[in-house]
Amino acid sequence: MSKERILVVEDQPDISSLLKIYFTAQGYEVYTALRGQQALEICSKTPPNLALLDVNLPDMEGYDVGRALRASPRTRHIPIIFLTARGERRDRLIGLGEVQAQYYIVKPFDIEEVHTIVRNQLEEARRRNQLHPVTNLPTAELLNEQLRQLLTASSWALINVHINGFETFTSVYGSVVGEDVLRFVALMLNEVVSELGGNEEFIGQQSVGQSFLITTIPERSRAICERIITRFDEEIGLHYNYRHRKQGYIEFVDDTGETRQAPLMSLSIGVLTQDDGPFADIRELSEISEEVRQRALIQAREQGKRSFAVYGRSAG
C-alpha cells in the first residue's frame, strides 16, 4: 500500500515545518505549500489524500483553495481540515458550510488532536473504499458517481485506458514491481491531464487495477490520448531489466510448463463521447467503453502497433 499523502498549506515556515516533521514521522507522505496557487498546482499533479489549509495565505484565502478543490472532479472528494487563527463564527460558517470542510480547527492547536482527526478522516475514506490502495486514485463509488454525471451531461468524452500485458509482467517481476508500474501510470496520467486539460477532467481507476478512466471534453480527448501513448511507450521500458528491454519481450512459463514470449507492456485505449449515446445507465456506458477499448487492442495487433486508441463506438 502506498503512503497516504497529506498536503499542508501554511505560510508560516515554523508551523509548516512542525506539521511536516510530525506527520512524516507518523508514516505519511507530506507535501507543503506556502501559497495557495502552489497548493493548487500540487493538487493538479499529485492529488493528496487530505489537505490541511490555513486561511491567511499571501496570494489568496485558504477558503478559495478549498473552493477550487471542491470545484474540480479530480479533487472534490479530498477531506479538508482548516487550521487557522481566524475563529469567528462567520469564518467557521464559510469553512464548514460554503467550502464543506470536514473540520475547522482554531490555532493554537494540539498536534496530537489534529493527528487523530486526520487519521479518522483517512480511515473513513478507506472504509468507503473511495481510493485505490496503490495509486490513491478515485475508485468504486467515486468512479461510479462520475460516470452517472456523464449520463446527463451535454458534452463529454470518456477515455478507457488499459495496460496490456500487466499480469504477465507481474508474474515475472513480482507484485511489488507491478505496483510501481501502476503508480507510474497514475502519475503520468495526472501529469498529462494537468498539461493538456483544465478543471473538467477526472481520473479514476477501476477495481481490476490495470484499467483507468479519464473524463474530459471531446475537444481535448485526442491530444490527451496521443500524449499518453507517446509517454507510455517511451518510458515503460525503464521498468524492465536491460535484457528484456533490449530484446523487446519477456519470457514466461505458461500453465503447461512451456516457455513462451510476451511483448513489453502497451496501452489499449477506447474513447466514447456523448455522440455515441444515449446510454441507459452506467453499466451500459462501461460495457460499451470496454468494447471500444477491446477494438483498440485488436486493431493494434492487426496493424503491428504497440499502444493504440480507437475513437468512437462506430470507429473502424
Confidence of residue 314 (pLDDT cuts 50, 70, 90): confident
Question: For 97-123, what is each residue's pLDDT tens digit?
Answer: 999 999 999 999 999 999 999 999 999
pLDDT digits (tens, 9 = 90+) for 60-76: 999 999 999 999 998 99
- 199: confidence class by pLDDT, cuts 50, 70, 90: confident
Kindly state the average pLDDT of the residues 294-299. Answer: 96
Confidence of residue 295 (pLDDT cuts 50, 70, 90): very high
Percentage of residues of the chain with pLDDT beyond 70: 99
The domain 140-311 is placed in CATH, from the list 3.30.70.270, 3.90.1150.10, 3.40.50.720, 3.90.76.10, at 3.30.70.270
**pLDDT confidence of residue 175:** 94
Share above pLDDT 90 across residues of the chain, in percent, rounded to a whole number:
84
- In the chain, where the domains are located: 5-127, 140-311
What pLDDT is attached to residue 151? Answer: 94
pLDDT at residue 130, as a whole number? 79
Residue 142 in this model has a pLDDT that exceeds 60? yes
Identify the band that residue 256 occupies on the pLDDT scale cut at 50, 70 and 90.
confident
Q: How much is the pLDDT for 1?
A: 61
pLDDT for 282 equals: 96
Instruction: Answer whether 5-127 and 140-311 agree in fold.
Output: no
DSSP letter string, the chain: -PPPEEEEE-S-HHHHHHHHHHHHHTT-EEEEESSHHHHHHHHHHS--SEEEE-SB-SSSBHHHHHHHHHHSTTTTTS-EEEEES---HHHHHIIIIIS--SEEEESS--HHHHHHHHHHHHHHHHHTT-B-TTT--B-HHHHHHHHHHHHH-SS-EEEEEEEETHHHHHHHH-HHHHHHHHHHHHHHHHHHHHHH--SS-EEEE-TTSSEEEEEE-HHHHHHHHHHHHHHHHHHGGGGS-HHHHHHTEEEEE-TTS-EEEEEPPEEEEEEEEGGG---SSHHHHHHHHHHHHHHHHHHHHHHT-SSEEEESTT--
Q: Residue 28 pLDDT > 70, yes or no?
A: yes
CATH number of 5-127: 3.40.50.2300
Residue 316 pLDDT exceeds 60: no
